[in-house]
Structures are given as C-alpha cells and as structure tokens.
Amino acid sequence: MNVTIDKNSGYCFGVEFAIQMAEDEMDQGGELYCLGDIVHNAMEVERLTKKGLKVINREQLKELRDCKVLIRAHGEPPETYQLALNNNIELVDASCPVVLKLQNRVKSAFDKMEEVEGQIVIYGQEGHAEVVGLTGQTKDKAIVVTKEEDLEKIDFSRPVTLFSQTTKSTKGFYRISALIEEKMKEQKGAEVVNYDYNDSICRQVSNREPQLQKFSKEHDVIVFVSGKKSSNGKALYSVCKAENDKSYFVENELELDPSWFKPSYSVGICGATSTPMWLMENVATFIKNIFAETGTAS
C-alpha cells in the first residue's frame, strides 16, 4: 500500500504563527490564557493544554485581572481590547494579518454604508470566532449569511456591500454574491444596483481547492484529517468528496475503519489549515500498520 501525505496540507501561516506565539510565551513561564480554542482541532488543543495553556470563554475573560491572554488567529472585536484595557490584561495578539486587514476593510465599508443607510453582509458561519470579530467592526449590525435562505435577512432595496469569512469556499461565495445581485436587480428592475462585493477569502485557503482536486484524483482513497469544529475543514473535505467518493473525514487515527483500505490502494492523507502535520503523520502510520504484518504497506 502506498500512503502519501499532501505536502500542501497543514497549518496556514496565521495558525502556525499563533501556536508558535503561545509556545514561546509558555516557555518563558507564567500563566497564559487563550480566548477560545487556539485552533479548531481538539488534538492540538489537548497538546497545548497539557503544556499549560488555559482556554477560557468570553464570560470568563470578564473576571480576569492582571494576567496574559492570547488572542488567536481568528481576531477579536473592539470590545475585547477595551475590556483588556479596563482589566489590566496584557494581550498577546496573534491575530492573523489577513484577518486584521479584513477587519479594517469591513470597518471602512461600514462607515460608508452608514452614510447611505446601506448594509454590510458577511458570508460566513454565524458565531464563528472570525465572524464575531468582523461583525464587531460594524457594531454588530452586519448581516451574516451562510445559505440561500439567509438572504431573506437583506433589504434588497438598500445598498449592500458583501465580504466573506476568510476560510469559506470560493465557489460558495460567488454563488451567494450572484444571488444577491440578482435579487437586487429584481427589486429595482433594470436600474443599476448599488452593490459591491469583496472576495476576502484567504488565498492560502482558496488555492488549496484546486490542489486538493488534483490530489483527490491521484489516489484510490482519501483520508481527510480535521477537527469537527473547523469551518475550513468542512469546506475542503467537500472538495475532496466531490472528486473522490472514497473520501473519509476523521479527527484522528482512532476513527479509521480498516475496511476502507485494500493492500493495492493508493491512499492520500490531507487536512485543513488547522490540522497539524504530526496528526496527519499519525494517521498515515496507523494506515500503514494495518497491512504491515503482511508486508504490503510501503
């Protein structure tokens, strides 16, 4: 059996940077809190928790004083920074530069939309950490849409500016954008509509789609390794499944089913931007060991 790990899978820059910052801080000693899971991967969160990282939620943050709190790659809304200032909390800010740039763009667009009674629409997952940070730039007035039914929240007679959560599907974004434009034209007839869309999907994410399409075609079986909470993981897994029906989603090697494999198969291992390489290597090793005794794994 041939087992190959996709060289393009694994952490994106933002996640890698946040984890490195957390480990550097913990190596220096002292307590370090993290506002939410540092990455949407339970195995990696468990590893860092054992090293001393304390994961907290927003309610727990309000009770903290005189300590260090890590802001993960997803970014945070303005009120988090104000709370830290009020409570003398030192923030270790690991917000992804791509997300920070998007937050600034959303804030600028929101200010302009306020002048013309327009709407900011964000294509993303309601409640997702990054989306919470983005809507925070709009005083929580932004409309979050995930699927076509959510478009009912939009007033198509008013101006609209659309952005996307950085880890969403490019195909999904352009589909939603086309639907918004179509509905605005229906509302205003043949008039030119006041609509602006911004493809704010991270290119490290969007570029993986064509890479994964090719990778999925090259193997008999695909094992996609990702945390179940990962929005990016769900999107990229769907890319694999569309190309190769023998694609399986697992969180770790314990979820593998030996019946998925045959000695003659070529197996491809890949993952989300929140999947650590060590976890994909564990999965690859486990698969090889299934047939190791017969000498068929390689």
Cα four-point dihedral sign 128, 130, 133, 137: negative
In 3D space, the residue among 208, 167, 170 whose CA is nearest the CA of residue 8 turns out to be 208
Cα–Cα dist 298/176, whole Å? 44
Cα–Cα dist 68/89, whole Å? 6
Task: Point out which residues pair with 144 in neighbouring strands.
Answer: 122
Cα–Cα dist 107/120, whole Å? 10
Is 130 noted as a catalytic residue in this protein?
yes
Cβ atoms within 10 Å of 128's Cβ, excluding its own: 20
- Inter-residue contact 55 to 32 (CB < 8 Å): no
Coil/strand/helix, residue 249: strand
Cβ atoms within 10 Å of 250's Cβ, excluding its own: 20
Q: Which residues contact 88 (CB under 8 A, 6 or more apart)?
A: 65, 66
- Give the pair of three-digit tokens for residue 63: 């009770």
Catalytically annotated residue among 130, 148, 186, 293: 130
Radius of gyration over every alpha carbon of the chain, rounded to an integer in angstroms: 22
Active site residues: 130
